Structures are given as structure tokens and as C-alpha cells.
Amino acid sequence: MPYVDGFIVAVPKKNLKTYARMSKKAGKVWREYGALDYREWVADDVRPGKSTSFPQSVKLKSGETVVFAWITYKSRAQRNRINTKVMADKRLTSMNTKSMPFDPKRMIYGGFTDLVKV
């Protein structure tokens, strides 16, 4: 059964190119360790809602945009094995959280199992 890690982040528009470079690097590491897919998407049609929305969930500020992403695995067990390796990989552990092109404190993420497939 497939398993997906999903996340959304607020990225300053001026940092999108830097963020994309960082994401490509991270995606290559995840894929190298066995992730089936690594995708990131930048907001095109997300509006603030009355009670909740993507912009509200990441506390979007002026000059920022929302990035929505997922990483697909064969199973939760495979995800756990891969993430252990990824989190220990020097290519990613060398990244300084203070110099990231987004605010990691406003990242929302979690793991998901499939519910509906049409």
C-alpha cells in the first residue's frame, strides 16, 4: 500500500529560485534512498478562506507564496527507513536552518495512507 508524506510551506517569492534549488537537492537525496516520487508545487489559485485555507495554515505574509509537496513511498515502513537515512545524510544535515529560504517553523507536514483511488 503506498504511503505519502505531504507538506506545505510559506516561501518568500524572492527566494523561490533558491528554494527550488534546495528542493531539487533534497528530492535527489530522497529518490536516491528509495522514495518513489518527490514533487513540489507552487500556489497558483489559493485564496485566504473565512475559517481556514492554505494561506492561513502557514500564516502567509505579504510577498510570500504557498508551496505544496509530497513524497511517495511503497509503505510506511519504507518511509521510516528512507527518512532515517535522509535525516543522517550530510548533504542535507549541512543545511543551516537559519539560512533556509523559508521559515521551517511554519511548515505543516504529516504522513498519509491512501483512502480513495479512482
Decide if 51 is inside a domain: yes
Cβ pair 54, 43 in contact under 8 A: yes
Retrieve residue 69's grid coordinates: 509537496
Q: Tell me the average pLDDT of the chain.
A: 94
Decide if 68 is inside a domain: yes
For residue 48, give the nearest of 31, 62, 35, 69 by alpha carbon: 62
Q: Which residues is 3 bridged to in the sheet?
A: 73, 113
Answer with the residue of higher pLDDT: 96 or 100. 100
Decide if 43 is inside a domain: yes
Domain encompassing residue 43: 3-113
The pLDDT of residue 52 is above 80: yes
Q: How many domains does the chain have?
A: 1
Return contacts of 96-99, CB within 8 angstroms, 24+ apart: none
**Where residue 85 falls among pLDDT bands split at 50, 70, 90?**
very high
Quote the pLDDT of residue 26.
95
Maximal CA-CA distance, the chain: 42
Reported pTM: 0.90
The pLDDT of residue 1 is above 90: no
Decide if 65 is inside a domain: yes
Kindly state the average pLDDT of the residues 94-115: 89
- Residue 5's contacts (CB-CB under 8 Å, 6 or more residues apart) are 70, 71, 73, 79, 83, 109, 110, 111, 112
Decide if 118 is inside a domain: no
CATH number of the domain enclosing 64: 3.30.70.100
Location of C-alpha cell 529518490? 31
Q: Give the tens place of pLDDT for each residue, 16-46.
A: 999 999 999 999 999 999 999 999 999 999 9
Backbone phi and psi for residue 34, each to the nearest 5 degrees, phi listed first: 120, 0
For residue 109, give the nearest of 64, 73, 67, 81 by alpha carbon: 67
